[in-house]
């Protein structure tokens, strides 16, 4: 008999990686939501339990519910699903909380239905959850949550996702200063035009970053983790950003930037020891300023969402 | 006794490869300048012979002369060099004519002096030739002429060049319609601002192109050879461009775009047979329009400038 229930882990993700604004994301190994998805005879999607965060459980107001409905709408399955969500990722922290729940739901449903949908279709369903969460159906958290590793959204029309292997010693440190920034606000302050000169710098750096990842050239990764366009504007919303960044780099990080639309700040390091030193340096700033924080030190997750 | 004379080949190059405007170039195997560089006791640089093109031979007006002077200025060698240039690349064709002469000169001089300068210094010297030719000291033709294969100029300040391996079956077709476009004119018509949305598309595509080259994914290379920013503007200066591009792609090319600042048009193909079919398709357009042309079908050059 085929499984009628799956217990899964769906990873947190860093999107908008420096020069990879809107196109490059990566999955984390040690932070993510746990979910139980149950295939049931009753039609529709029900969120039967939600722990860890205060979030809506009405299907059409819950990102996993909306993503699941998108899948059901394209499926010839005439039953339904129940979803239990155990949030380990804080909503609004900037490490793909909504993407984890959306992606986990549609991945598990597809598994329970015998994988009728290819991965790219699952990305599209999960993007409907992102649309609910932020008003924009972006793919740069969903794609790494699904595929693991780094993922490049080469194009939205048509949707084209390129999984990029992660060098084996790459670790991430993420600090979440507990202040609130709404994604819509942090999008609003961006300029709609940029100079061609800044654009050239940005695509030069993104090319360098992709090359560094694929050639396992950690120094090149570090030199390429530069953002001339978004970080100078958005970092104003994150108290202590410049100091966190400079201290992270002094502690040995390859590079450092804003995770998603913030307020979390990520740094990449070569090896776990350095990633831990970087965590200590980042913490030091928020202890001094007196802002509460969470900090995660994680290897890059290379498999994406998985059963537990 | 060390060689006191070198006969060399310095390849033609395609710069501004679609989404890689100002950052990505590639060297060609079957087109390039031949040069003889002679180490002599007499101080300074002299262009003793120049065949194939009507170009100035006064040292300070010749790109190889100017690049050579830049090298001499940083060297503790107190003699000089004589340069013979046998141009096989047409000046103004958009496939790195000036870069070939500049790069060949400084590479050979460095060899004759026992390689006192690292490659990045040679790029800087050759860029002085580019400054003379076009008013801008760009590196995106010089770098592939020197290193071979594809090269990414990740950054100008500081100068950072990333050699990118070329997939083994990648061939280029280049057609040069014999009309004149001045580099300065084709630079002038570019807008100094772009939309952030177009920028995101461009760096998504450049990321895809770098990934495609390194992962030897020819389809991804093809999908990524898209330019939303420069090609729509500059192609207006090249008669027949849209038709050449669509016919090249119909003939099997992975992608097609403007070489350098034009008027040459390049296409990439998987394999020599397809590259030849693409050449036939491109030629057909200019035969019909009645514009003279040269066409080159070439494997990617993977070693750069070399002795003959």
The residue ranges of every structural domain in chain B are 5-164, 170-299
CB contact under 8 A, A207 and B152: yes
CATH for A5-164+303-307, options being 3.40.50.720, 3.20.20.100, 3.30.230.10, 3.90.245.10? 3.30.230.10
pLDDT(A2) > 60? no
pLDDT(A3) > 80? no
pLDDT(B1) > 50? no
Average pLDDT (B260-272) is 96
Q: What is the pLDDT of residue B136?
A: 87
pLDDT(A93) > 50? yes
In whole angstroms, give the CA distance from residue B10 to residue B134.
Answer: 19
CA A260 to chain centre: 7
pLDDT level of residue A135 (50, 70, 90 thresholds): confident
- Please tell me which of the candidates A152, A201, A220 has its beta carbon nearest to residue B207: A152
In whole angstroms, give the CA distance from residue B87 to residue A92.
Answer: 62
In whole angstroms, give the CA distance from residue A132 to residue A54.
Answer: 16
pLDDT(A134) > 90? no
Average pLDDT (B7-18) is 98
pLDDT level of residue B149 (50, 70, 90 thresholds): very high
- Please tell me which of the candidates B160, B202, B226 has its beta carbon nearest to residue A203: B202
Q: Hey, what CATH class is B5-164 in? A: alpha beta
CB contact under 8 A, B162 and A208: yes
Average pLDDT (B105-132) is 97
Q: What is the pLDDT of residue A1?
A: 42
Q: Looking at A95-104, A130-139, B264-273, which range is the least confident one?
A: A130-139
**Chain B contact set for A199 (CB, 8 A):** 194, 199, 202-203, 229
Contact B60, B26 (CB under 8 A): no
- Please tell me which of the candidates B153, B193, B206 has its beta carbon nearest to residue A206: B206
In whole angstroms, give the CA distance from residue B125 to residue B69.
Answer: 8
Q: E strands along A134-253, which residues?
A: 150-156, 159-164, 170-177, 193-195
Q: A170-299 adopts what CATH topology?
A: Alpha-Beta Plaits (3.30.70)
Residue of B nearest to A162 (CA): B208
Contact B20, B206 (CB under 8 A): yes
Q: What is the pLDDT of residue A185?
A: 75
ipTM: 0.95
Q: What is the pLDDT of residue B183?
A: 67
| CB-side neighbour CA atoms (13 Å) of B73 | 12
Say yes or no: do domains B5-164 and B170-299 share a fold.
Answer: no
Give chain A's mean pLDDT. 95
Instruction: Check B34, B128, B130, B231 and give the catalytic one.
Output: B130
């Amino acid at each position: 008999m085929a499984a009628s229930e799956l217990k899964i882990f769906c990873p947190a993700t860093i999107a908008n990686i420096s020069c990879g604004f809107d196109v490059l994301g990566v999955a984390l190994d040690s932070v993510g939501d746990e979910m139980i998805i149950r295939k049931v005879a009753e039609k529709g999607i029900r969120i039967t339990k939600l722990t860890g965060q205060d979030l809506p459980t009405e299907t059409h107001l819950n990102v996993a519910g909306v993503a699941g409905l998108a899948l059901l709408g394209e499926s010839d399955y005439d039953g339904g699903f129940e979803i239990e969500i155990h949030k380990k990722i804080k909503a609004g922290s900037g490490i793909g909380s909504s993407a984890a729940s959306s992606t986990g739901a549609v991945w598990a449903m597809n598994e329970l239905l015998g994988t009728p949908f290819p991965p790219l279709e699952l990305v599209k369903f999960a993007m409907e959850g992102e649309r609910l969460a932020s008003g924009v159906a972006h793919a740069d958290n969903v794609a790494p949550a699904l595929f693991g590793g780094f993922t490049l959204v080469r194009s939205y029309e048509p949707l084209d996702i390129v999984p990029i292997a992660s060098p084996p010693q790459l670790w991430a440190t993420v600090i979440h200063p507990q202040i609130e920034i709404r994604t819509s606000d942090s999008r609003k302050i961006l300029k709609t035009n940029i100079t061609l000169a800044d654009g050239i710098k940005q695509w030069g750096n993104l090319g360098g970053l992709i090359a560094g990842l694929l050639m396992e050239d950690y120094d090149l990764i570090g030199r390429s983790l530069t953002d001339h366009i978004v970080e100078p504007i958005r970092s104003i919303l994150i108290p202590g950003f410049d100091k966190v960044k400079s201290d992270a780099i002094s502690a040995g990080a390859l590079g450092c930037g804003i995770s998603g639309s913030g307020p979390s700040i990520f740094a990449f390091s070569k090896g776990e020891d350095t990633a831990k030193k970087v965590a200590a340096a980042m913490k030091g700033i928020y202890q001094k300023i007196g802002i509460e924080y969470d900090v995660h030190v994680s290897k890059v997750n290379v498999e994406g969402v998985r059963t537990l």
